[in-house]
A and B are shown apart, each in its own frame.
Chain A
Amino acid sequence: MTTTAIPTETQHVPATAPKRRPKREREGAAWVFLSPWVLGAIVLTLLPMAVSLYLSFTDYDLFNPPKWVGLRNYVQMFTEDPRYWRSVVTTVTYVVIAVPLQLALALVVALALKGMKHGKAFYRSAFYAPSLLGASMSIALVWRAVFNDGGTVDNLLGTGGWVNKPGWSLLAVALLTVWQFGAPMVIFLAGLQQIPAELYEAAAVDGAGKWRQFLSVTVPMLSPVLFFNLVLQTIQAFQVFTPAFAVSAGKGGPADSTLVYTMYLYDRGFVASHMGYASAMAWVLLLVIGVVTAVLFRTSRSWVFYASEGDR
Chain B
Amino acid sequence: MTSTAVSHKPVRWGRVAVHLGCLAALLVMLYPLAWLLATSLKPADEVIASLDLLPSHLEWSNYSTAMEGVNDVSVWRLLTNSLLIAGGAVLGNVISCSLAAYAFARLRFRLRGPLFAFMIATIMLPHHAVLIPQYIIFNQLGLVNTYWPLILPKFLATEAFFVFLIVQFMRGLPRELEEAARIDGCGPFRSFFQVVLPLTRPALITTAIFTFIWTWNDFFTQLIYLFDPDKFTLTLALRSFVDASSTSAFGPMFAMSVIALLPIVLFFLAFQRFLVEGMASSGVKG
Give residues in A with beta carbon < 8 Å to B.
4-6, 8-9, 12-13, 19, 21, 26-27, 29-37, 39-41, 43-45, 47-49, 51-52, 55, 62, 109, 112-113, 116-119, 123-133, 135-139, 141-146, 150, 152, 155, 179, 183, 186-187, 189-191, 194, 225, 228-229, 231-232, 235, 238-239, 241-242, 245-246, 249-250, 262, 265-266, 269-270, 275, 278-279, 282-283, 285-286, 289, 293
Q: Which residues of B contact A285 (CB under 8 A)?
A: 126, 128-129
Q: Which of B139, B175, B239 counts the most chain A CB atoms within 10 A? A: B239
* Contact status A141-B153, CB under 8 Å: no
Whether A37 contacts B96 by the Cβ 8 Å rule is yes
Are B118 and A41 closer than 8 Å at their CB atoms? yes
Interface residues of B in 1-49 (CB under 8 A from A): 2, 15, 18-19, 21-22, 25-26, 29-33, 35-36, 39, 48-49
Given A31-B103, A132-B264, A266-B223, 6 more A-B residue pairs with CB atoms under 8 Å apart are A8-B179, A9-B179, A34-B99, A126-B29, A133-B261, A189-B280
CB of A15, distance to nearest CB on chain B (Å): 14
Tell which of B119, B125, B284 touches A187, judged by Cβ atoms closer than 8 Å.
B284
Tell me whether chain B's interface is mostly helix, strand or loop, or mixed. helix
Q: Is the Cβ of A128 less than 8 Å from the Cβ of B258?
A: no
- Chosen A-B contacts, 11 in total, with CB atoms closer than 8 Å, are A6-B108, A29-B189, A30-B108, A36-B100, A36-B155, A48-B131, A132-B213, A133-B264, A150-B49, A190-B283, A270-B135
**A45 lies within 8 A of B272 (CB):** no
* 8 pairs of A and B residues whose beta carbons are closest in the complex: A40-B156, A48-B133, A138-B257, A187-B283, A190-B280, A37-B100, A30-B109, A30-B107
In the bound complex, CA of A132 to CA of B216 (Å): 10
Contact A33-B107, Cβ < 8 Å, known A5-B175, A109-B25, A137-B238: yes
User: Is the beta-carbon distance between B128 and A262 smaller than 8 angstroms?
Assistant: yes
CA distance A139 to B51 in the complex (A): 20
B283 to chain A, nearest CB (A): 4
Which residues of chain A are near B163, meaning CB under 8 Å? 37
Cα separation A124 to B185 with both chains bound (whole Å): 46
Cβ–Cβ contact B133 & A55, under 8 A: yes
Q: Is B158 located at the chain interface by the 8 A CB criterion? A: yes
Most buried by B among A40, A109, A262: A40
A139:B128 contact, CB within 8 angstroms: no
